[in-house]
Structure 1
Amino acid sequence: MSSATTPATVHPVDQILPVRQMLTLGLQHMAVSYIGAIAVPLIVASALKMSQADTVVLISTTLFCSGIATLLQTVGFWKFGVRLPILQGVAFSSVGPVIAIGSNPEVGFAGVCGAVIGAGIFTLLMAPFVGRLRRFFPPVVTGCIVTVIGLQLFPIAYEWVGGGRHASDFGAPAYLAVAAVVLLSILLVNRYGSPMMRNMAVLVGMLVGAALAYGLGMGSFHSVQESPWLTVPYPFYFGLPTFSLIPIATMVVVMIVQMVESMGLFVAIGDIVDKPVEEKQVINGLRANGLASTIAGMFAAFPFIAFMENVGLVILTGVRSRWVVAISGLLMCLVALVPKAGAIIASMPTAALGGAGIAMFGVVAAAGIQTLAKVDYERNRYNVLIVGFTISAALVPVLAPALFKQLPEWSQPFLHSSVVIACLVSVLLNAALNGVSVPDTAGKPASHSL
């Protein structure tokens, strides 16, 4: 057969799987991310003393916009979307600024919406300029970022394993037993299950763990009974957005942090799924973040970023199709319309989620270590310094969060995230010690020291 008639090989990221398989795997992605997806609106609603009805609307609009943001990144259109298996969720770094803006009686939640819209437009305009920094992310940098992503998530998994941060009997043997059963189930399915079952190992483990947890008296379906059957998210529920300089500037700082973090995540996730991300894709991904945030501001939601739970799931299952994650985005939009269905997912006992979290976050850290293992340390001693300095600095927010509290207020958003610190420290050290690879006139990379 001639090369002209040979069909092009479809990359695993672009593969469209059978509908039933995509639905099942999409549900698995949504299930492992749902708790994180509703955490921010719950925190904000509680801090701003919203009514039960307003809280339900805020959760629904956040889920709905998370689904839209996911579709923008996975499916994409025109010059929007990085087109990788990335599920988008609300960034925790936006919680503090959102509460601060919304608590101001002269601004209110309408000012929050205006600030998110303004910051989203800022991101749209800045994406082409920020995206050009792609060349600052060689393997030694992306390996550090992925490793830190996994390591910084371990405390969250441990809290889940122990029954939740506020559990009065935190760390009870029953919680530990449930998490251990989840881990054992995931291992057994991966070892003895069929290929399809292995793809669903995390979901199977969570269901087995949930069954055991409910049998031991953990968990409750009380929230399911209280949740309404139907709600319809629509724009401007909290009134027309108001635009003020200080709130917008505050949210712009959040979005600058988001852009740094997102750029590192795009490149790192591209390496994980063996589909290197070029400068154009980074720009398209940042544009999608900006557009999603602009839409979110209209629907009373918040800025978005990639969910690391789903990155771990991609590694653990080996299913790299972005269309599977796109299905999870559609499912999030549907669940947003039926709060009772979302409440069923949210009733998953925390210990069962913790067992899955340890597995997923562990393989993320392992993927980063695998990337770092390919870095040349023998002929380039600077790489050891880059890795050592980056990981030690990036884990400060996790291991000693009070260490940076005396630094200037403007620096706090950048020091709050381990991923942002990993991006900044590794990029700066690599540029200073190894130089920056830029294309020369012949289109080949050339190294220029800074």
Structure 2
Amino acid sequence: MSLRFSRPSRNPDDGPPHPVDEVPPPARLALLGLQHLAIMYAGAVAVPLLVGGALKLPQHTIGTLVNADLLVSGIITIVQSVGIGRILGVRLPLVAGATFTVVSPMILIAEQFGGGAAGLPTVYGAILVSGVFGLIIARFFATVVRFFPPLVSGCVICVIGLSLIGADAGLIAGNDSKSPEYGQISHIGLAGLVILIIVLIHRFTRGLISQLAVLLSIVIGTIVAIPMGLVHLSEVGKAGWFGISHPFLFGAPQFHIAAIISMCVVMLVTFTESTADIVAVAEMVDKPLQPGDLARGLAADGLSGVLAGLMNSFPDTAFAENVGLVGLTGVRSRWVVTVCGVLLVALGLVPKVGSLVAALPDPVIGGAATVMFAMVTAVGLRVLHKVEFDGTHNMLIIAVTLSVALLPSVAPNFYTKFPTDFQMIAASPITSAVIVVFVLNLLFNHWRAGTRAATS
């Protein structure tokens, strides 16, 4: 990751506004904002669906998580695009959404501290502290981002995708291999159909239709699942048209050091993701990026952790698919993204929306998530392509990181004889990946005198 800051070449008060600050006509503004919403929606709701499904939460509770997730995503998107003084927000067309990085640690922590909803007070206590941690270190992180080069971020992104495959496998086949319902051919076939639809849409369509492949596959898969008896809409009828997630829905937050450390590492990973996207979108829109801009953008991610801990939601990061949409359309106005944020807030205040999303069949969500998580891994491989290997130890660093990080994924009971606090950190593939690759990168590429620093 090569991060270069520059100063504006002119007084922003002189002449016409920068395209980032222009406001399109109302009709075009609304349509472009809706398009950003359509691009990110499936990814935004996937996190609460995966966490809720893995923890076996009731459908109405998962619906509440979805609404809280949309609400917080909308608030942070507005903060990022509009900004709050010199405190928060990068003021670029950046859409915020729940990070997939949080899925595995949340499930692990909840299972360690009571299982299901009983473990969520500990989860949200840790997220709350990680949000405060993010707010405190945002400015500092913006100055030391050179210690999170493609070698580090690429390894972590690969592990995120690989470690989450088990979560969507559980949605497709079930979580109890001894149950007679486990691994039904019809459920696996339905998930396969969803994957096939995604492939066909990408192969034979272009433009907006292609970008909506995941969302369209979920809709079609759900329609197919209706005669299979997998769609239950009773909770949708019970849900209200207006409401808001109650703070600390699962009880007063509980604070355990191992869980807090794990979530603080997640926040660091989130910062790494967001930094790459902030730099990318700044280059796309030709807007000079200064250290204070990056710090304010990262602080907004920290705020998302605080709001998530309060409102039963999830930490947010910049959504790469929306960054790609900016490059594809050439629309640079940050106010388009603000409209997307307003729409997200509106959806987050409608409980029926959350209940409807929660009613989506598990095999359908699992099939779509399989592709999405594999895409995360593919993005990590693309980032690693920037790493220099000749004359360096970077291949060894990647090998050790992947082996240590993925051990608990393929052998869930690997650390069961270790203390609980150690398990909380080491048994999380993402947490262990960040720690191992960060330390090894420092050891081989920064601390060792005479070693060539080939990390970009």
Tell me the TM-score normalized by structure 2. 0.72
Q: Which of 246, 264, 270 matches 1:262?
A: 270
Query: SS of 1:181's equivalent?
Result: helix
Counterpart of 2:415, as a letter, is: F
Within 5 Å, which residues of 2 pair with 1:36-55?
36-37=47-48
Question: What displacement does 1:382 show?
Answer: 0.5
2:42 matched residue in structure 1: 31
Query: SS of 2:414's equivalent?
Result: helix
CA offsets 1:343-397 (integer angstroms, 9 cap, x no match) = 11222222222222222222221222222233222x2241110111111111123
1:420 matched residue in structure 2: 431
Q: Structure 2: any 5+ residue segments left out of the alignment?
A: 1-8
CA gap 1:28/1:376 in 2 versus in 1, 3 angstroms:
closer
Q: Does the CA contact (< 8 Å) of 1:315 and 1:363 recur in 2?
A: no
Within 5 Å, which residues of 2 pair with 1:108-147?
120-147=131-158
Of 118-127 and 199-208, deviating more is 118-127
Q: Name the % identity.
A: 28
Partners of 2:17 and 2:248 in 1: CA distance = 46
1:364 matched residue in structure 2: 376
Within 5 Å, which residues of 2 pair with 1:324-403?
329-377=341-389, 379-403=390-414
Q: Does the CA contact (< 8 Å) of 1:145 and 1:268 recur in 2?
A: no
CA gap 1:141/1:162 in 2 versus in 1, 3 angstroms:
same
2:196 matched residue in structure 1: 184
Partners of 1:100 and 1:394 in 2: CA distance = 19
Q: Does the CA contact (< 8 Å) of 2:392 and 2:454 recur in 1?
A: no
Partners of 2:62 and 2:278 in 1: CA distance = 36
Q: Does the CA contact (< 8 Å) of 2:388 and 2:454 recur in 1?
A: no
CA gap 1:430/1:295 in 2 versus in 1, 3 angstroms:
closer
Query: SS of 2:347's equivalent?
Result: helix
Partners of 2:169 and 2:300 in 1: CA distance = 33
Of 182-191 and 413-422, deviating more is 413-422
CA gap 1:418/1:79 in 2 versus in 1, 3 angstroms:
farther
Q: Does the CA contact (< 8 Å) of 1:119 and 1:248 recur in 2?
A: no
Counterpart of 1:257, as a letter, is: V
Counterpart of 2:146, as a letter, is: R
Question: What displacement does 1:102 show?
Answer: 10
The total of aligned residue pairs comes to 420
Partners of 1:173 and 1:434 in 2: CA distance = 49
1:80 matched residue in structure 2: 88
Q: Does the CA contact (< 8 Å) of 2:36 and 2:325 recur in 1?
A: no
Counterpart of 2:163, as a letter, is: Q
Question: What displacement does 1:168 show?
Answer: 5.0
Question: What displacement does 1:326 show?
Answer: 5.9
Query: SS of 1:421's equivalent?
Result: helix
Query: SS of 1:403's equivalent?
Result: coil
CA offsets 1:169-206 (integer angstroms, 9 cap, x no match) = 23222222222222222222222223121121111122
Across the aligned residues of Structure 1 and Structure 2, the Cα RMSD in angstroms comes to 4.7
CA offsets 1:272-302 (integer angstroms, 9 cap, x no match) = 87969986566434422333343445x5435
1:65 matched residue in structure 2: 72
Partners of 1:179 and 1:101 in 2: CA distance = 31
Tell me the TM-score normalized by structure 1. 0.73
Q: Which of 187, 190, 213 matches 1:201?
A: 213
CA offsets 1:103-157 (integer angstroms, 9 cap, x no match) = 9xxxx97x99888666644442333344444111122222212221221122223
1:174 matched residue in structure 2: 186
Q: Does the CA contact (< 8 Å) of 2:42 and 2:214 recur in 1?
A: no
Q: Which of 286, 290, 305 matches 2:302?
A: 290
CA gap 1:75/1:54 in 2 versus in 1, 3 angstroms:
same
Query: SS of 2:226's equivalent?
Result: helix
1:149 matched residue in structure 2: 160
Query: SS of 1:247's equivalent?
Result: coil
1:210 matched residue in structure 2: 222
CA gap 1:211/1:315 in 2 versus in 1, 3 angstroms:
farther
Question: What displacement does 1:9 show?
Answer: 9.6
Q: Structure 1: any 5+ residue segments left out of the alignment?
A: 438-445
CA offsets 1:239-293 (integer angstroms, 9 cap, x no match) = 9x89xxx838677535522333223333455688796998656643442233334
Partners of 1:63 and 1:291 in 2: CA distance = 15
CA gap 1:353/1:336 in 2 versus in 1, 3 angstroms:
same
Partners of 1:212 and 1:431 in 2: CA distance = 51
